[in-house]
Amino acid sequence: MKRVVILFSKEGSNMENIIKKLHPHKIFVVAVITNNPKARGIAKAKALGINTVILNHKEFDSREKFDEKLVEIITGFDVDLTILAGFMRILTPIFTSRIKAINIHPSLLPAFKGANALKRSYESDQAKVGVSTHFVTDELDGGKIIMQKSFDKSGMSFEEFEKKIHECEHEIYPLSVLKALDLE
Ligand code: GAR
């Protein structure tokens, strides 16, 4: 059984969705880790009985020191893959060079890399929008694409658009996890 750890910072809806769809029959979620002690996802992970680690980045002097501790914890879990699911931290090469990880991003990469992608994608004049999953490298949102799903946002309110983005994410992220692990 392939072992994974999931990292999140906020709602944790992608984390929860992956656990519900894949754990423990397809993959084993050893733990979830958040950098935000107030993340709403913490209660979701605990309700599902998953070991939950809180590593507050504010308790570290630098990005590098935080990443060193994160790498140490993940390495200790002995996982096959690290899944970033709304983990809102820029990762240094200390992490990216040592941890095999995948990420989900709310745009059709390479469009709208970086912060506030959801809002920038909605406000753009491109009708075709969507979500992407990709391998993590030292280039922000720049690694090899695993899957994408697109739709036409014409006429949608921001709320409708956001809901559709999450629906697409919840559809392709579990599939992407299996693909990244060569399980399908
Ligand atoms: C998701 O929309 C994800 O694509 C985005 O954060 C949201 C997390 O939602 N990630 C990024 O913007 C990464 N740059 P969730 O906490 O409900 O899964």
- What pLDDT is recorded for position 17? 98
166 is catalytic: no
Nearest CA to ligand 1 atom 3: 86
- What pLDDT is recorded for position 110? 98
What residues contact residue 41 under an 8 Å CB cut-off, 6+ apart? Answer: 8, 9, 10, 11, 12, 13, 15, 16, 32, 34, 86
Relative to the CA of 141, which ligand 1 atom is closest?
14
Relative to the CA of 104, which ligand 1 atom is closest?
4
Q: Which of 15, 33, 91, 105 to mutate to test the pocket of ligand 1 (most atoms within 8 A of CB)?
A: 105
Q: Is the pLDDT of residue 181 over 90?
A: yes
Categorize the per-residue pLDDT at 112 as very low, low, confident or very high, splitting at 50, 70 and 90: very high
Report CA(141)–ligand 1 centroid distance (Å). 12
For 40-87, how does the pLDDT look when each residue is reduced to its tens digit (9 = 90+)?
A: 999 999 999 999 999 999 999 999 999 999 999 999 999 999 999 999
Q: Where are the alpha helices (DSSP H) in the chain?
A: 13-22, 41-47, 63-77, 93-96, 117-123, 158-180
| Cα separation, 109 vs 116, whole angstroms | 13
**Ligand 1 in contact with 113 (CB < 6 A)?**
no
Instruction: Return the domain boundaries, the chain.
Output: 2-180
Query: Percent of the chain, pLDDT > 70?
Result: 100
What is residue 108's DSSP assignment? -
Q: In what order do the strands lie in the sheet with 28-34?
A: 52-54, 28-34, 3-8, 81-84, 101-105, 128-135, 145-152
CATH code, residues 2-180:
3.40.50.170
Q: How many Cβ atoms from other residues are within 10 Å of residue 165's Cβ?
A: 22
Q: Which of 6, 9, 10 to mutate to test the pocket of ligand 1 (most atoms within 8 A of CB)?
A: 10
What is residue 144's DSSP assignment? P
For 151-164, how does the pLDDT look when each residue is reduced to its tens digit (9 = 90+)?
A: 999 999 999 999 99
Nearest to 6 by CA among 64, 124, 20, 171: 20
**Ligand 1 in contact with 14 (CB < 6 A)?**
yes
Categorize the per-residue pLDDT at 169 as very low, low, confident or very high, splitting at 50, 70 and 90: very high
- What pLDDT is recorded for position 184? 82
**Ligand 1 in contact with 8 (CB < 6 A)?**
yes
Q: Is the pLDDT of residue 165 over 90?
A: yes
Instruction: Quote the mean pLDDT of the chain.
Output: 98
| Cα separation, 6 vs 180, whole angstroms | 14
Catalytic residue among 57, 105, 134, 170: 105
Query: Percent of the chain, pLDDT > 90?
Result: 99
| Cα separation, 158 vs 175, whole angstroms | 26
